[in-house]
Amino acid sequence: MSESAPSAPSTQGSTDFIGDIIRADNQQGTYAGRVQTRFPPEPNGWLHIGHAKAITVDFDSAQNNGGICNLRFDDTNPETEDTEFVDSIIADLKWLGFTPANVFYASDYFDKLYEWAEYLIGEHLAYVDEQDGETISAQRGGYGNPGIESPFRDRPADQSLDRFRRMRAGEFADGTMVLRAKIDMNHENMQLRDPVLYRIRRGHHHRTQDAWVIYPTYDWAHGQSDALEGVTHSLCTLEFVSHRPLYDWCLSHLPLPYDKPKQIEFARLELTNTVTSKRRLAKLVADGTVEGWDDPRMPTLAGLRKRGYPARSIVAFCRDMGVSKTNARHAIEELESYVRRDLNKVAQRRMAVLRPIKLTITNWPEGQIEYFDVMNNPENPDDGTRKVAFTGELFIEQDDFAEVPPPKFYRLSLGREVRLRGAYFVTATDLVKDDQGNVTEVLATYDPASKGGNSPDGRKVKSTIHWVSRPHAVAATVALYDRLFSAANPGETTGEPLDDLNPSSRELLENCQVEQALTETGPGEVVQFERLGYFAADPDRPMHFHRTVGLRDEWAAIQKRKG
Ligand code: ATP
Ligand code: MG
């Protein structure tokens, strides 16, 4: 922090422009020291990683400055919204660890928004336009081109009022007329060229049912809802910068119950190799490209949760990325490094063989079973140890054995000695093949003096591999995931992100063999499979695991390459 940093008592230690504005307002007594923000999702999709950013900003900005944050559903579009989305949003917010002071719905304000619209008409600030949508948008003009005023613009207020009431009463067909604000058809900001405030739309609304056939637009609903609730700082993303003058215009012409809220914009959070467009995510679900909104490949909070991402690592990532005024795409590897560091501290270690091949120890005493005490998590000795059974009949990974070892392959091959993690040194002596010539079994001898995996005489082995005792192994299904989009910036070449979908983003391994302790893994719990990565137990399907992240810190590698 620089010498001249303000001495305002901030326990967060970071200065950010939103916090600065709020603190300045508090110091000056604007809003009488009240701070109130809201997180305003439209219930037309599930929350994604970008929403986690908005949630963190909205809640932290309030809570760090003695205020409150509400959840408000921006449910003004009956066609795309649904209670499925409302429920998932409430659940995901809770999972992320944020508790809204209140849960509000813009649809609860439909009466008031309607009343305020009539008020604007009475003030000669709004009129009913009976032209069709195409004509209205053609008349809007463009940058440098003046707009054309509607022939209905100067109709008497009582005529507009009459039409508006009859619009509400359902006398007119969808799309036949709209209510528009009367601002300035030559304004350089297109948003102020007599924007539409209400349209006729016969859609069944998930809360108001069929009570309304007219619905407010975003611009008429949002700021007014903020004002009705007493929001002080209305935080949103940069695409709303051009809407701010309209936000202010609407509020400055209404008799507000509270001081006028202030819209402040910040940059969206985007990640490489994925998208945060709800429309596109919805398409992946509808197409069956993924299994649902909570598919572990999705950037949705439900997807990340199923994938095994701890909520606290998502929040920490969002906080650490800071708030900015320029949109940026962060490397997904950076988020993964937050996840990996978090899981490293808490995940229990287990052994799992994903692509098994038999390893049989020919000099093992017939029928003998040994139990090794293995630490559950070397990072946290309090997690204790567990007993893992060892016998002469084991499974190891296919790719930990090579019949013809390539250069720099130091794992098992004929005549080569390796360590079976925590158990013994073994040397491969022979192999068994099936009719097609595939290796189905490796035969080996063990050195009884290397018990615990310790060298008896100082001789070294070049590698340690994991294993599972065959008589004790439990079958499991494991899903490995790759990037959902193969391009870092999906759509960068064609303009359509879905063109960059990775066709092999999931590999399902259905014949895995894992240690018995994994049968006790709780639904959703994340464990480390030794040498392979972190894996989350599916919340519903027993013995089904999703790979969260691998063990290698790719973010560190990227940083190193950059120098
Ligand atoms: P759509 O994709 O339909 O345009 P949206 O992503 O804007 O919708 P909303 O439900 O309207 O979704 O978003 C709720 C809040 O989350 C808004 O304040 C919005 O600015 C914010 N938000 C949405 N996406 C991001 C993102 N990628 N990064 C940060 N904030 C976001
Ligand atoms: Mg939106």
Domain CATH for 201:
3.40.50.620
The residue contributing the CA closest to ligand 1 atom 29 is 268
Q: Give the separation between CA 207 and CA 222, rounded to whole angstroms.
A: 18
Cβ 42 under 6 angstroms from ligand 1: yes
* Integer-rounded Cα radius of gyration of the chain: 31
Same domain for 147 and 254?
Answer: yes
Asked whether residue 77 falls in the same domain as residue 214, the answer is yes
Query: What's the CA-to-centroid distance between 74 and ligand 2, angstroms?
Result: 9
Rounded Cα gap, residues 348 and 76, in angstroms: 46
- Tell me which of 225, 241, 271 is where a domain ends: 271
Indicate the pLDDT class of residue 329, thresholds 50, 70 and 90.
Answer: very high
Pairing of strands 526-529, 348-350: parallel
Closest CA to 345 of 294, 380, 310, 389: 380
pLDDT value for 563: 78
Residue from 241, 268, 314 whose mutation best tests the ligand 1 pocket (most atoms within 8 A of CB): 268
Ligand 1 contact via 41 beta carbon (within 6 Å): yes
Domain boundary, last residue among 271, 289, 310: 271
Residues 128 and 220 in one domain: yes
Measured distance CA(306)–CA(554) in Å, rounded: 22
* Residue 313 domain flag: no
Residue 281 domain-assigned?
A: no
Residue 299 falls within a domain, yes or no? no
Helices (H), 301-370: 301-307, 311-321, 332-346
Q: Whose CA is nearest to atom 14 of ligand 1?
A: 41
Instruction: Assign 351 a pLDDT band (cuts: 50, 70, 90).
Output: very high
Whole-number pLDDT of residue 143: 86
Taking only the tens place, the pLDDT of each residue in 454-465 is 999 999 999 999
* Residues 366 and 263 grouped into a single domain: no
| 248 lies in the same domain as 366 | no
* Residues 160 and 126: beta-carbon distance below 8 Å: yes
Distance, CA 42 to ligand 2 centroid (Å)?
A: 7
Q: Quick check: 270 and 237 in contact, CB under 8 A? A: no
Nearest CA to ligand 1 atom 15: 41
pLDDT at 464: 97
217 within some domain = yes
The whole-chain average pLDDT of the chain stands at 95
Is the CB of 324 inside a 6 Å radius of any atom of ligand 1?
no
Does the pLDDT value for residue 11 go beyond 80?
A: no
Instruction: List the one residue out of 307, 310, 304 whose CA is nearest residue 339.
Output: 310
- Window from 14-18, 235-239, 351-355 with minimum mean pLDDT: 14-18
pLDDT confidence of residue 15: 55
Q: Per the structure, how many domains does the chain have?
A: 2
pTM over 0.85: yes
Query: Which ligand places an atom closest to the C-alpha of 45?
Result: 1
CATH number at residue 398: 2.40.240.10
Are 380 and 240 in a shared domain? Answer: no
Residues designated catalytic: 42, 268, 278
Find the domain containing 231 and state its range: 17-271
For residues 55 and 198, state if they share a domain. Answer: yes
Q: Is 53 in the pocket of ligand 1 (CB under 6 A)?
A: yes
Regarding the beta carbon of 155 and ligand 1, being less than 6 Å apart is answered: no
Same-domain status, 73 and 164: yes
Q: Residue 40's pLDDT is what?
A: 98
Give the residue among 273, 274, 263 at the shortest CA–CA distance from 224.
263
Q: Which of 241, 271, 301 is the last residue in one of the domains?
A: 271
Q: Is the CB of 236 under 6 A from ligand 1?
A: yes
CA distance 265 to 245: 13
Residue 509 lies in a domain: no
In a domain, 327, yes or no: no
| Whether the Cβ atoms of residue 382 and residue 346 lie closer than 8 Å to each other | no
pLDDT tier, 476 (very low <50, low <70, confident <90, very high otherwise):
very high
